[in-house]
Amino acid sequence: MKSSPETTSRHTRTNAARTPLTRVVNLHKAFGSNTVLNGVSLEFMAGETTVVLGPSGTGKSVLLKHIVGLLRPDAGEVYFHDQRVDQLKEPALVAIRTRIGFLFQMGALFDSRTVYENVEFPLHEHAQRKRRERRDQAEKVLRMVGLPDIGRKMPGDLSGGQRKRVALARAIVLEPELMLYDEPTTGLDPITADLINELIVTLAENLGVTSIAVTHDMVSARKIGDRMVLLHSGKVIADEAADRFVNLEDEQVQHFIQGKADDEDLRRIREGFQSLS
Ligand SMILES: Nc1ncnc2c1ncn2[C@@H]1O[C@H](COP(=O)(O)OP(=O)(O)O)[C@@H](O)[C@H]1O
Ligand SMILES: [Mg+2]
């Protein structure tokens, strides 16, 4: 099949071998009486970027934490390649985590350490590298995020977007197979958010890294996602290729895409006001 250069994107490239790099099977997780995941099964394909959408508090971060074994399910299974993650003990989990880059929502840097020291931190922890090699690797990933000259600065001297990019550099310094992004654009201005989205796409395309991004930002989702999943009330409501997802007629999907409030919630608010008068 011939395609023009414009359409030879990761969308077509990834169709060749759709094997899951990681998957969760029938995950259940509750905190006390708060059921968060109520039977979630998802496969995340190698080379693809999957966006997991859902309103705040639906368990998107909880899902990511299960994938890296930071939380254990009440029931269900988590796999990385063919290895069962949810039953692993710490040393084996640590080994898996070195293959996964995690950009946390609060992407916290060590404020009392330089950018270099922050980015090199995982190399100290998990890899036996010489000082020069660590510095070379840090410089390489800082170049990748477009910040070649800031290694000696302190995080406090950087803008919010720059700090996010340093956190991203740190997340990729061990050259992970899988990148997890938790709300990568939340709290950023639209221009900085766009830059982060571009970086996510660039890393996926150039490093071939498989990515899972959790967000409630549809602009970001459309920009980066090959596939989109909507979580709601502990369940997967929709799981589709990105172009099909945005055209789904499902009411909850369209409400989410258009940023429309839930009819039930609106009705309750109106009734609440009426009861006041
Ligand atoms: N460690 C925890 N202990 C108790 N409750 C938690 C914990 N982590 C998350 N929760 C609860 O699980 C629900 C989903 O949280 P989260 O995954 O952070 O939502 P989001 O979709 O916004 O990322 C929330 O009600 C949250 O309060
Ligand atoms: Mg969250």
The distance from CA 266 to its chain's CA centroid, rounded to whole angstroms, is 31
CB 247 near ligand 1, within 6 Å: no
* Residue 97 pLDDT: 92
* Ligand 1, atom 9, residue with closest C-alpha: 62
CB 36 near ligand 1, within 6 Å: yes
The answer to whether the predicted template modeling score (pTM) of the entire model surpasses 0.85 is yes
Which of 27, 31, 214 should be mutated for ligand 1, with most atoms under 8 A from CB? 31
Which ligand 1 atom sits nearest the alpha carbon of residue 71?
1
Where do the domains of the chain lie? 46-71+86-99+177-277, 111-175
Beta strands per DSSP E along the chain: 20-31, 34-45, 49-53, 75-80, 83-84, 100-103, 178-182, 210-215, 227-232, 235-241
Q: Quick one: fold of 46-71+86-99+177-277?
A: Rossmann fold (3.40.50)
Residue type, 269: I
Torsion of CA 39, 75, 22, 127, to 10 degrees: 150
Cα 56 to ligand 2 centre (Å): 7
* Ligand 1, atom 7, residue with closest C-alpha: 31
CB 234 near ligand 1, within 6 Å: no
Cα 64 to ligand 2 centre (Å): 9
Cα 131 to ligand 2 centre (Å): 36
* Residue 14 pLDDT: 46
* Residue 104 pLDDT: 85
d(CA 190, CA 21): 31
CB 52 near ligand 1, within 6 Å: no
CB 57 near ligand 1, within 6 Å: yes
* Ligand 1, atom 14, residue with closest C-alpha: 59
For residue 226, give the 3-state DSSP assignment.
Answer: coil
* Ligand 1, atom 1, residue with closest C-alpha: 31
pLDDT tens string 6-40? 433 444 444 455 789 999 999 999 999 999 999 99
100-103 sheet: strands from edge to edge? 100-103, 178-182, 210-215, 49-53, 227-232, 235-241
Cα 61 to ligand 1 centre (Å): 7
Between strands 49-53 and 100-103, the pairing is: unpaired
pLDDT tens string 66-104? 999 999 999 999 999 999 999 999 889 999 999 999 998
CB 58 near ligand 1, within 6 Å: yes
pLDDT < 70: residue spans in the chain: 1-17, 107
Cα 272 to ligand 2 centre (Å): 29
Q: How many CB atoms lie within 10 A of CB 91?
A: 7
